Amino acid sequence: MTTLNAELRTFFEARQQQIPAEVREIMRRAGQELADSGQAGHALTTGAQAPRFSLPAATGETVTLDGLLARGPVVLTFYRGAWCPYCNIALRALQQRHEEITARGARLVAVSPQIPDESLSLAEKHGLAFDVLSDLGSDTAKQYGLAFDLPDDLAAVYDKLGFDLQRVNAGHPRTLPLPATYVIDRAGVIRWSFVDPDYTARAEPSAILTALDELA
């Protein structure tokens, strides 16, 4: 079976052929600066208490971490938005393993800084069976140490590509989360974590399942 990160790498290599060299350089430089900034080192990791949140779901209700934990462990994944093709690939991969996650008594939720309408269209498009939550202003991502601001030149590239982050992020176009996934036990303690400044890398669903098995 092809791993998620192998699929992401294949997509990245094909995508590079379609992007002008000057744009590729802006993306490469921004990625290197983010890696060099040490931002990932500020993110919460295994053993930390997971910050509580109360966020609107795409379907309209409010979802709280305490409410989720009352029913079992939580798999919490942060993604950049429906405009990000790497996020879409990663969310589809999680959907493919969703039954295996729930069979272990866990709840999967995905969080991004985009407005609920954008999350709903994403959930409908990919047939996602798990909650997709809106972290407007990235306040929850900040609590987990994941939020960062895009540099000016990369933000301008995203504008030219038509991502319209001003609208989909409700006036917070520059702030995004590092891709991250946490397995949180019923006591609210992070028992497994994946954080990477490289948005083309994501937590492997198989590793998430292994982490859930180790909670049992």
pTM of the model: 0.95
175-177/147-149 β-pairing: antiparallel
CA-CA distance, 69 to 92, in Å (whole number)?
A: 24
Per residue in 159-208, pLDDT (tens digit) is 999 999 999 999 998 999 999 999 999 999 999 999 999 999 999 999 99
Task: Give me the pLDDT at residue 84, please.
Answer: 94
Spatial distance between the Cα atoms of 167 and 115, rounded to a whole number of angstroms: 8
- pLDDT tier, 157 (very low <50, low <70, confident <90, very high otherwise): very high
Would you say residue 59 has pLDDT above 90?
no
Residue 140 has what pLDDT? 98
pLDDT in tens, 6-27: 999 999 999 999 999 999 999 9
Name the band, by pLDDT with cuts 50, 70 and 90, for residue 30.
very high
**3-state class (DSSP) for residue 80:** coil
Q: Is 127 helix (H, G, I), strand (E, B) or coil?
A: coil
| pLDDT tens-place string over residues 111-125 | 999 998 888 788 887
User: Going by DSSP bridges, is the β-strand pair 107-112/74-78 parallel, antiparallel, or unpaired?
Assistant: parallel
Alpha helices of the chain — where are they, by DSSP H? 4-16, 21-37, 39-42, 65-69, 85-96, 98-103, 116-126, 139-143, 152-160, 165-168, 205-215
Which of 164, 111, 160, 108 lies closest to 137 in space, CA to CA?
111
